[in-house]
Structure 1
């Protein structure tokens, strides 16, 4: 699990810049309020196709990262398959931190 990515996702959630739940995320995509959509890697094929098509149509970046449990834990909720970030700054932060290790490593 990429701690930096999920820590930043949690920060965005606490700032009120994350929308979660299928219908809420779809509404954010349609209104073009969503700046980045995060989809769990273990999402079903139907869910993956639905959100990939919507994001493609509305030109919103879609990122598959983490599992539904990791995304849920990152935002302090139960397991979530899809969330949308509705702030350009947080969307950029998450895109930059995807795949990068945390700045501070712990050695035990």
Structure 2
């Protein structure tokens, strides 16, 4: 559970560093442009939206995390969002390390 908090704290840090992208159209454009390095999709996002972003992420080789609800993600960044992209490669790498550590527990 503590690793969940580390992931969410780091997501909040990415928000404060202005390294996140949100909004469906913005995210799709940024994914296509190769500017998104990691994607959070809330577990309670609609099925068609989830499919659209998972398919797009797979095509452009963007890692995806679907372990958190909209409420948890929104609290981490301080604004209501269901899909959040990380636009910094270094921050994305750290989030991948944290989420992989969580899976290995």
Q: Secondary structure at the match of 2:84?
A: strand
Q: Secondary structure at the match of 2:36?
A: coil
In structure 2, the residue matched to 1:105 is: none
Match of 1:49 among 48, 51, 69: 51
Give unmatched runs, 5+ long, in structure 1.
101-108
- After TM superposition, what 4+ stretches of structure 1 lie above 3 angstroms from structure 2? none
Match of 1:11 among 13, 21, 33: 13
Q: Distance in 1 between matches of 2:19 and 2:71?
A: 20
Does 12-21 or 91-100 show the bigger shift? 91-100
Cα drift, residue 63 of structure 1: 1.5
Q: TM-score, normalised by structure 2?
A: 0.87
Give unmatched runs, 5+ long, in structure 2.
none
Q: CA RMSD in A?
A: 1.3
Q: Distance in 2 between matches of 1:44 and 1:85?
A: 21
Match of 2:74 among 54, 72, 83: 72
Match of 2:25 among 9, 12, 23: 23
Which structure shows the higher helix fraction?
2
Q: Distance in 1 between matches of 2:83 and 2:67?
A: 10
Instruction: Provide Cα deviations, 1:16-63, integer angstroms capped at 9, x if missing partner.
Output: 110011111111101110001111111111011100111111121112
Q: Secondary structure at the match of 1:77?
A: coil
Q: Distance in 2 between matches of 1:27 and 1:65?
A: 24
Q: Distance in 1 between matches of 2:57 and 2:78?
A: 25
